[in-house]
Amino acid sequence: MKSEGSNIVSIIIPIYNVEKYIQQCLESVICQTHKNLEILCVDDCSQDASIDIVRSHMVKDTRIKLISHAMNQGLACARNTGIEHATGDYIYFLDSDDFISSESIESMLDSALTHKSDMVFSGVELAVEEDAKGDELSAIKSYLSFKPQAECEEVSRDTFELFLDEFPCVAWNKLFRTEFLRSNYISFVQQNIVHEDEGFHVKILANLPKISFVDEVGYFYRIRSSSIMQQAIDDWEKKIKALTVSLDDAISYLNKHEKSEYIELVKARPLYRHCYAAENKKKPSLFSKLIRIRVRKNHKRLQIFGITLYESNR
């Protein structure tokens, strides 16, 4: 099935001080083979020439819309703003320093329509800058290399844990059915933190989506020393604290929407993965700080490397 031209795809691009990259990003979207696009550029109070570049493209392409924040709120809030303004049948998140292949949206939309899937993702290739740290590249590449066993899979209560462990928790490079997000009240944590994607994906998976995969490179993820992901890698203590905030938001969502059966799995898996990585990076001071993470009374005891992170009295 070829993607139908009547299906509008809203591409959400949060923008903050990316004058060096935004032109390539926008041009990769403008030249998409699927033309029925809504290109939502969310200005999070950029202080460089990024928005001037966006406006110059708006003159040439009426599909581009600019939405401006009154104050800097961070990536998660910018994405939420995009979701609120999107009018498309599908939503696609694209970071403003990255770019996509010319057939990326068409291929993913074709997959979504063929399989009636709620979420589609494709292959990722790294676009590495000279100042990027080489010792981190293999870890990032490995993290993003997940491929499902089948072209289309449906998350179930039995496979939720597997997807939570293995599925890359990044919002970009994924095409979401808009009605799936809105009918399940799915959004990002409304705070300016790293790891906003972790909680977002918990909400996605807890609603048991049908997921399909396009086995070709559609997204080019730029590795640069000043990127948000790279900063998170470099600061493990900050990373764990931000992750806790993101997961707390997801757990509140699970409680509110009667999906509490997933809470213990959510608490354990992502925290364990990142703590284990921190241990391998030989950051022993992190673990004494983890003791200070607050205890939730309504959860069973959870220990990681002998440290109690959560404990209940029941």
pLDDT band (50, 70, 90) for residue 219: very high
pLDDT per residue over 163-189, tens digit each?
A: 888 888 899 999 999 999 999 999 999
pLDDT band (50, 70, 90) for residue 227: low
DSSP per position, 57-99? HHHH-TTEEEEE-SS---HHHHHHHHHHH--SSEEEE--TT-E
Please enumerate in sequence order all residues whose Cβ is within 8 A of that of 187, keeping only pairs 6 or more positions apart, or say none.
80, 83, 181, 200, 203
137 and 167 share a domain?
Answer: yes
**Range picked from 120-124, 179-183, 196-200 for highest mean pLDDT:** 179-183
Query: How remote is the C-alpha of 305 from its chain's centroid?
Result: 28
CB-CB contact of 214 with 175 (8 Å) = no
H-only helix segments in 171-262: 178-183, 196-206, 228-234, 236-256
Domain count across the chain: 2
Between CA 180 and CA 204 the distance in angstroms is 9
Between CA 314 and CA 297 the distance in angstroms is 8
146 and 189 share a domain?
Answer: yes
277 and 145 share a domain?
Answer: no
- Alpha-carbon distances, residue 133 vs 91, 145, 187, 281 (angstroms): 32, 19, 32, 14
Q: Which residue has the higher pLDDT, 282 or 177?
A: 177
Indicate if the pLDDT at residue 265 is higher than 90. Answer: no
Indicate if the pLDDT at residue 230 is higher than 80. Answer: no
- Does 4 reside within a domain? no
Between CA 189 and CA 198 the distance in angstroms is 10
- Does 150 reside within a domain? yes
pLDDT per residue over 127-175, tens digit each?
A: 887 665 566 677 777 778 777 778 899 999 888 888 888 888 899 999 9
- The alpha carbon dihedral of 306, 200, 217, 120 has a sign of positive
Compute the mean pLDDT over every residue in the chain, rounded to the nearest whole number.
82
111-116 average pLDDT score: 96
Domain boundary among 177, 207, 227: 227
- Does 302 reside within a domain? yes
Give the structural domain span for 271.
235-310
CB-CB contact of 269 with 165 (8 Å) = yes
**CATH no. for residue 87?**
3.90.550.10
Domain boundary among 173, 207, 227: 227
- Alpha-carbon distances, residue 78 vs 93, 158, 313 (angstroms): 11, 33, 39
Per-residue pLDDT at 198:
86
68 and 161 share a domain?
Answer: yes
pLDDT band (50, 70, 90) for residue 204: very high
- Does 282 reside within a domain? yes
Q: Residue 231: which of 187, 180, 193 has the closest Cα?
A: 193
Q: What residues form DSSP beta bridges with 91?
A: 10, 176
Between CA 152 and CA 39 the distance in angstroms is 27
120 and 159 share a domain?
Answer: yes
Domain boundary among 227, 261, 277: 227
68 and 191 share a domain?
Answer: yes
